Structure 1
Amino acid sequence: MKAAYFDTTGAPDVIRFGDVPTPDPRAGELRVKVLAAGINPIDTYIRSGAAPMPLPRPAITGTDFAGVVDAVGPGGKFRVGDRVWGSNQGLLGRHGTCAEFVCVEEKWAYPTPASVTDEQAAAAALVGITAHLGLFHRAKLTHGETVFVNGGTGGVGSMVVQMAKAVGAKVICTVGSEEKAALARELGADLAINYKTDDISTRVKEFTGGTGVQVWYETLPPADFDETVEMMATRGRIIVMAGRAARPVFPNGPFYVKGLSLMGFAMFNMTAEEQRVGADEMNRWFEAGKLVALIGARFPLMQTVQAHQLQEDNTIRKAGTLTGKIVITPTE
């Protein structure tokens, strides 16, 4: 089969496109003919060596997938021909999804609703489950609360906006342009703040009547929590899930006087059962028309190097040239 793989970590150009053995499913696994795969920041961190993990050799890149079951190992619950989607591949010793086929443990696969395209399912996978874990497993978001998220049109941020609205929360997000502000409002944001031209703290205080936000979902590496804590409501919850090397200044006094909570998580450390809760709810929201994945770029499998470069340019170098997710199409 054709795949995008690497034998050693490094810059995007360590990725090769070529033939590798087609895998056979073992007990508890299914083999998926990949019709769409997704590229995420974690894929670039693994490939570069910034996130060291056990990897097969060669290591196929890609975390997210959507496609059709092609073969099933002994005892499987899925059947050949079933449409499925999922994430958690390409890490912790698992082969990735930027290939014509991938073998996946059944616990990481979810049925794809008939109304959802493979591109949508793959693009929503990691970012959607991540958003759900932060909002509901960690922060316990409830109806009527106010959520703040940086990057309302980014991969995770756009999912946070839509999921928070789906449960009746109010949403404030940041954006970098008027075009992105309009898009964020289309997704459901009640307030989209242009961080380049507006004072975020002032706008948040105006919107909340000075009470602050109950849930702060931080998608960026935090540098200083002073402004965050200032904008929080009493007993608010702050979620962090980015910034491996970040060592932010922390305002201890204001934090504990307000009775705040700070919680972090990495999606791939969460159990399959914890992640499935989010995947199941995502399927319900997909079918109800309450969830859509923003796709900012598409590449054929042979151009996975360029896809990694685009992701790095935006994640690390803040190029601002990508809105939403990158999708790889192995069949093109």
Structure 2
Amino acid sequence: MHAIRQYEFGPAEVLRYEEVPDPHPGPGQVRIAVAAAGVHVVDTSIRQGGQRGPFPQPDLPMTPGREAAGVVDELGAGVDVEWLGRRVVAHLGMASGGYAELAVREVEALQVLPDGADFDAAVAMIGTGRTTMSILRTARPTAGDVVLVTSAAGGIGALAVQYARNIGATVVGAAGGAAKVAKVRELGADIAVDYTAPDWAQSVREALDGRAVSLVLDGAGGEYGRAAFDLLGPDGRITMYGKEFGEHQFTSDDLLARALAAKVALGPNLLKVPGGMRTLENEALAALADGSLRPLVGPPFALAEAAKAHAALENRETYGKVVLRPTP
């Protein structure tokens, strides 16, 4: 089979497309003929050698990739024969071989695809979708909120816009560039703005016509996160996620002066949900099945273009979920 191999930590160019031996499942495992593999911002941190948090860096060489969807084509010992030929999706772990034509996973980690779900959408929801469910549990948006979502054309942001719209909140979506703003508008945001424009915050104030933002869902950080924070009215709250959430440059004095609340959505919060990650996966895939949430998926990259996909993601050139396809 073909797979992406990494022999050193570094820039996107360290990802190599190679031919390697086919893997085979062990006891209690299945092999998946991969139709779509998810690319996540965490993958870029792992590749660089800069992944933060409780998970150690993987040993090299390795095949990256944490999310895969496809068809079960081989069973390990002890696995029910009914799994053979099933369309499934699975989170594989931190760096566990998803960027490949074939991937192996324990059968208890598999999720059977909802009827009608395509592989790209499924691979978006098994990782990015479950993360979004955790963020929403932390943020607790309500119908009475004015919700500002930064990075609203990203994988998480697009789902957050839809969720807030579905519960009846007023939704402001901020993204970078006209094309991404158009995507946010298509998702149902009441107000869609380009936060690379110097006057974007003032545009939001004018569009809200006296109403204040009450909840910020921020995956952008930096100057965009700070500008979003400044749009909060008294008693407002900000929920932060993403690798740049620590760069907002606001202090406890800023929170006290306006009676604001700040939360970090990821990290330990992901592990506090009863039933853990499986519960979040179930919620995400149920929302996909009933049509209440549809992941925004960008144009797919070929598996051989994994380095190009990483570079595009890091340069903010993508929208929605980034997906690799082993076959055209």
TM-score tier after normalising by the smaller chain length: 0.7 to 0.9
Mapping of 1:198-209 within 5 angstroms?
199-208=199-208
Contact 1:4–1:60 under 8 Å retained in 2: yes
Q: Quick check: 1:183 aligned with 2:179?
A: no
The aligned residue for residue 73 of structure 2 is: 70
Residue type of the alignment partner of 2:69: A
1:117 Cα offset (Å):
0.8
The aligned residue for residue 317 of structure 1 is: none
Contact 1:296–1:325 under 8 Å retained in 2: yes
Moved more, 6-15 or 232-241: 232-241
Cα distance in 2, alignment partners of residues 28 and 259 from structure 1:
52
Moved more, 225-234 or 45-54: 225-234
Moved more, 140-149 or 185-194: 140-149
Aligned-residue sequence identity (percent) comes to 29
Aligned residues: 322
C-alpha spacing 1:229/1:323, structure 2 compared with 1 (3 Å): closer
Unaligned runs of 5+ in 2: none
The aligned residue for residue 294 of structure 2 is: 292
Contact 1:224–1:250 under 8 Å retained in 2: no
Cα distance in 1, alignment partners of residues 76 and 267 from structure 2:
26
Equivalent residue in structure 2 for 1:80, among 61, 84, 87: 84
Q: Quick check: 1:276 aligned with 2:278?
A: yes
Q: Quick check: 1:133 aligned with 2:134?
A: yes
Contact 1:224–1:249 under 8 Å retained in 2: no
1:123 Cα offset (Å):
3.4
The aligned residue for residue 214 of structure 1 is: 214
Partner of 1:237: helix, strand, or coil?
A: strand
Cα distance in 2, alignment partners of residues 215 and 276 from structure 1:
27
C-alpha spacing 1:75/1:135, structure 2 compared with 1 (3 Å): farther
Cα distance in 1, alignment partners of residues 119 and 288 from structure 2:
12
Cα distance in 1, alignment partners of residues 263 and 172 from structure 2:
20
Partner of 1:157: helix, strand, or coil?
A: helix
Moved more, 80-89 or 36-45: 80-89
Residue type of the alignment partner of 1:236: G
Moved more, 158-167 or 249-258: 249-258
1:181 Cα offset (Å):
2.7
CA deviations over 1:134-166 (Å, ceiling 9, x no partner): 122x11223332221112212221121112223
Mapping of 1:96-245 within 5 angstroms?
96-106=97-107, 108-136=109-137, 138-197=138-197, 199-208=199-208, 210-223=210-223, 227-243=227-243
1:298 Cα offset (Å):
2.0
Moved more, 33-42 or 108-117: 108-117
Q: Quick check: 1:305 aligned with 2:307?
A: yes
1:330 Cα offset (Å):
1.3
Residue type of the alignment partner of 2:14: V
Cα distance in 2, alignment partners of residues 248 and 103 from structure 1:
40
TM-score (norm 1): 0.84
The aligned residue for residue 30 of structure 2 is: 30
Cα distance in 2, alignment partners of residues 160 and 295 from structure 1:
14
C-alpha spacing 1:276/1:45, structure 2 compared with 1 (3 Å): same
Q: CA RMSD in A?
A: 2.9
C-alpha spacing 1:209/1:245, structure 2 compared with 1 (3 Å): closer
Partner of 1:161: helix, strand, or coil?
A: helix
CA deviations over 1:246-285 (Å, ceiling 9, x no partner): 4442242341244432222446983493333333233233
Contact 2:68–2:90 under 8 Å retained in 1: yes
Cα distance in 1, alignment partners of residues 22 and 283 from structure 2:
32
Unaligned runs of 5+ in 1: 315-320
C-alpha spacing 1:296/1:325, structure 2 compared with 1 (3 Å): same
1:304 Cα offset (Å):
1.9
Partner of 1:180: helix, strand, or coil?
A: helix
CA deviations over 1:59-82 (Å, ceiling 9, x no partner): 111222111123445665772222
Contact 1:61–1:97 under 8 Å retained in 2: yes
Moved more, 192-201 or 3-12: 192-201
Cα distance in 2, alignment partners of residues 71 and 56 from structure 1:
26
Contact 2:150–2:224 under 8 Å retained in 1: no
Cα distance in 2, alignment partners of residues 276 and 196 from structure 1:
37
Cα distance in 2, alignment partners of residues 73 and 236 from structure 1:
52
TM-score (norm 2): 0.84
Contact 1:223–1:246 under 8 Å retained in 2: no
Residue type of the alignment partner of 2:321: K
Contact 1:132–1:163 under 8 Å retained in 2: no
Residue type of the alignment partner of 2:236: G
